[in-house]
């Protein structure tokens, strides 16, 4: 059983090294980012303690997927398997627990830890038995896959918009719009297997423009309810909504192009850092998008002859 | 016609393919056989452009990749994509319009289910359907019979013969000699990255004998099974 955790540790080290990071430095950065994000959430959002606890439980639930655990269930004895799951969940719970205790949210800290531990005895609900309907069936790819994995984020965005309108909070509505585009950006985080680019008969320019067109159309489609509601109920601020809509779309396009800069390998650290930087300073988009476009075009030329 | 001349492929210091010279003509079904790790899949990947290589691979009728249907040993499927959506995706990629994809579902697959939930054989059949609906001229099929049930095996054999009749180039790998005997016109034996033998239909048994050659000896004793 000890060997299982040694192997997991080695895997993490290898993944970080392959991504071009110094693993120990990366651990420090991850810890700092974790604290900053947690602080940011508690500082800016109402009921952050509950949302924080939900994030933690969603994360725990995710590592309990049947596919992920099939291997260990197959090779370890029943007792060892349960011990591994329990220990894994507890290890993941520790940083969340410490932060909640630091925030003096003792009840939520202990109850989340306990629920996390109990969840180790259950597997994530298998949602593969039926196909979630999506509006993107004619162009099945990033948006169809992404939508099925994160549709609840869009529902959350639409609910937040309704709340924003009912309480007259325009900023909350813009926040909902941002959530929608950030979620769509995530659809392009992981590169597809080589086969799915190779099979295209278009050259790299045509391929990229088709992708850009789809990204714009589909992200507009998903953000349209929020966009329309905000324009309708805050007509004096329609211009701001349009600006956010355009910037959001540009972010999705940047994310798309970023994926193909180092394709077929994962998004490289420089691209990741640049995307992060642009999130803090959006005018950079005007430089980064053309730069990513030319890099992607060049990179894809060897695959799409 | 596809012409391969002096093809070399290596990973670091390891030479995986050495001086491969082959020709594939229209209307032929060519088998590539060899032990596991002999380099069959690497050869296919070089041909379709998945791998870089030294040497020449030439197709006399245009860009090879745009008219090739490739069936990998383990087909790739994106998560949360149904069988029908997979077929739509490959059609879109090649700018091909098919009015009713369900009609092309000759293997009677549950196309409205996520492809990732399919069994090994079903995944292979879906990927094969994907290559067949694209009006390809060349078919490179890496172990198309693996994991597929008997009835579907018969369908695949008939399909391959139909492709031959339509003057397509069909290149496949398989370990099942009885099937290769039935459908292939020629066999190339790949051994340690080199073509060790190329034979016509009536000489397939020579390669089969060579491949059976390895003695089992005391291999099993080494496991010290209890």
- Nearest chain B residue to A210 by CA distance is B93
pLDDT of amino acid B87:
94
Tell which residue, A225, A262, A263, A260, has the closest CA to residue A245: A225
Can you list the alpha helix ranges (DSSP code H) found in A168-202?
170-186, 195-198
CA B84/CA B90 separation, integer angstroms: 10
Question: In chain B, which residues have their Cβ closer than 8 Å to the Cβ of A198?
Answer: 48-50, 65, 70
Question: In chain A, which residues have their Cβ closer than 8 Å to the Cβ of B91?
Answer: none
- Percent helix, strand, coil in chain B (nearest 5)? 35, 25, 35
pLDDT of amino acid B21:
95
pLDDT of amino acid A219:
94
pLDDT of amino acid A126:
57
Which residues have CB under 8 Å from B61's CB, separation 6+?
B67, B137
CA A167/CA A283 separation, integer angstroms: 31
> What does the pLDDT average to over A133-155?
86
Q: Are strands B169-173 and B138-142 parallel, antiparallel or unpaired?
A: parallel
- Chain B closest CA to A297's CA: distance in Å? 17
**Are residues B146 and B172 in contact, defined by beta-carbon separation less than 8 angstroms?**
no
The answer on pLDDT for A66 being more than 70 is: no
CB contact under 8 A, B78 and A196: yes
Task: Supply the DSSP symbol for A133.
Answer: P
Give me the residues of chain B with pLDDT under 70, please.
213-217
Give strand pairing partners of B4.
B22, B57
CB contact under 8 A, A192 and B78: yes
Nearest Cβ partner for B80 among A138, A149, A201: A149
CB contact under 8 A, B80 and A140: no
Which residues have CB under 8 Å from A229's CB, separation 6+?
A161, A162, A165, A173
CA B172/CA B192 separation, integer angstroms: 18
CB contact under 8 A, B93 and A128: no
Tell which residue, B13, B3, B144, has the closest CA to residue B72: B144
* Rg of chain B taking only CA atoms, in angstroms: 18
CA A161/CA A139 separation, integer angstroms: 28
The string of DSSP codes covering B89-112 is HHHHHTT---S-GGGG-TT---TT
Can you list the positions of beta strands (E) in chain B? 2-11, 14-24, 28-33, 54-59, 68-71, 138-142, 169-173, 186-191, 194-200
pLDDT of amino acid A65:
66
The answer on pLDDT for A21 being more than 60 is: yes
B141-189 pLDDT, tens per residue? Answer: 999 998 899 999 999 999 999 999 999 999 999 988 888 999 999 999 9
pLDDT of amino acid A245:
96
- Chain A closest CA to B146's CA: distance in Å? 20
CA A218/CA A208 separation, integer angstroms: 15
Identify the CATH assignment for B2-223 out of 3.40.50.300, 3.40.50.720, 3.50.50.60, 3.40.1180.10. Answer: 3.40.50.300
- Nearest chain A residue to B97 by CA distance is A138
pLDDT of amino acid B84:
93
Crossing angle for the helix pair A142-167 and A170-186, to the nearest 10 degrees: 170
CB contact under 8 A, B49 and A196: no
CB contact under 8 A, B80 and A137: no
> What does the pLDDT average to over A103-108?
89
CB contact under 8 A, B70 and A141: no
- Chain B closest CA to A132's CA: distance in Å? 9
- Chain A closest CA to B19's CA: distance in Å? 23
Q: How would residue A70 be classed by pLDDT, with cut points 50, 70 and 90?
A: confident
SS3 assignment, position B58: strand
**Are residues B98 and A110 in contact, defined by beta-carbon separation less than 8 angstroms?**
no
CB contact under 8 A, A137 and B92: no
SS3 assignment, position B73: coil
pLDDT of amino acid A181:
93
**Are residues B16 and B65 in contact, defined by beta-carbon separation less than 8 angstroms?**
no
pLDDT of amino acid B143:
93
CB contact under 8 A, A194 and B50: yes
A232-264 pLDDT, tens per residue? Answer: 999 999 999 999 999 999 999 999 999 999 888
Question: In chain B, which residues have their Cβ closer than 8 Å to the Cβ of A305?
Answer: 49, 63, 65
- Chain A closest CA to B209's CA: distance in Å? 35
> What does the pLDDT average to over A166-193?
90
CA A182/CA A184 separation, integer angstroms: 5
The string of DSSP codes covering B175-197 is S-HHHHHHH-SEEEEEETTEEEE
Instruction: List the single range of A43-57, A62-76, A98-112, B188-202 with lowest mean pLDDT.
Output: A62-76
């Amino acid at each position: 059983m000890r060997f299982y955790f040694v192997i997991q540790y080695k895997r993490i080290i290898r993944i970080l090294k392959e991504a071009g990071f110094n693993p120990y430095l990366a651990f420090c950065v991850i810890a700092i980012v974790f604290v900053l994000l947690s602080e940011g959430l508690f500082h800016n959002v109402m009921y952050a303690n509950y949302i924080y606890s939900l994030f933690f439980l969603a994360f725990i639930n995710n590592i309990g997927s049947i596919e992920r655990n099939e291997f260990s269930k197959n090779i370890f004895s029943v007792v060892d398997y349960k011990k591994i799951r329990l220990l894994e969940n507890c290890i993941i719970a520790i940083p969340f627990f410490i932060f909640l205790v630091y925030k003096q949210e003792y009840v939520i800290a202990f109850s989340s830890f306990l629920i996390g531990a109990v969840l180790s005895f259950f597997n994530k609900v298998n949602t593969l038995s039926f196909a979630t309907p999506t509006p993107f069936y004619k162009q099945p790819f990033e948006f169809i896959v992404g939508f099925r994995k994160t549709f609840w984020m869009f529902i959350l965005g639409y609910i937040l918009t309704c709340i924003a309108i009912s309480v007259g909070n325009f900023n909350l509505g813009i926040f909902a719009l941002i959530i929608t585009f950030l979620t769509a950006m995530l659809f392009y985080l992981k590169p597809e297997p080589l086969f799915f680019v190779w099979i295209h008969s278009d050259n790299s320019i045509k391929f990229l423009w088709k992708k850009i067109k789809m990204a714009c159309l589909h992200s507009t489609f998903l953000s349209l309810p929020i966009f329309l509601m905000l324009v309708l109920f805050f007509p004096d601020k329609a211009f701001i909504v349009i600006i956010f809509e355009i910037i959001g779309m540009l972010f999705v396009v940047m994310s798309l192009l970023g994926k193909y800069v180092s394709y077929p390998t994962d998004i490289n650290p420089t691209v990741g850092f640049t995307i992060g930087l642009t999130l803090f300073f959006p005018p950079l988009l005007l430089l980064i998008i053309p730069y990513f476009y030319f890099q992607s075009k060049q990179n894809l030329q060897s695959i799409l002859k | 016609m596809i012409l391969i001349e002096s093809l070399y492929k290596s990973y670091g210091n390891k030479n995986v393919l050495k001086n491969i010279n082959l020709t594939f003509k229209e209307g032929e079904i060519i088998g590539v056989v060899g032990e596991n790790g002999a380099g069959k899949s690497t050869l296919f990947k070089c041909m379709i452009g998945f791998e870089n290589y030294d040497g020449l691979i030439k197709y006399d009728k245009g860009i090879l990749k745009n008219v090739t249907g490739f069936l990998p040993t383990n087909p790739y499927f994106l998560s949360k994509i149904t069988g029908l959506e997979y077929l739509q995706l490959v059609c879109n990629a090649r700018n091909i319009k098919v009015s009713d994809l369900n009609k092309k579902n000759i293997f009677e697959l549950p196309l409205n289910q996520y492809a990732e939930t399919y069994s090994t054989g079903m995944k292979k059949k879906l990927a094969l359907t994907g290559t067949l609906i694209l009006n390809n001229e060349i078919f490179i099929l890496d172990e198309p019979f693996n994991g597929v049930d008997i009835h579907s095996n018969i369908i695949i054999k008939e399909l391959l013969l139909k492709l031959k009749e339509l003057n397509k180039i069909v290149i496949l790998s398989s370990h099942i000699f009885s099937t290769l005997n039935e459908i292939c016109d020629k066999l190339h034996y790949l051994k340690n990255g080199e073509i060790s033998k190329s034979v016509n239909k009536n000489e397939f048994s020579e390669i089969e004998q060579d491949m059976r050659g390895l003695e089992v000896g005391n291999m099993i004793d080494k496991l010290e099974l209890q």
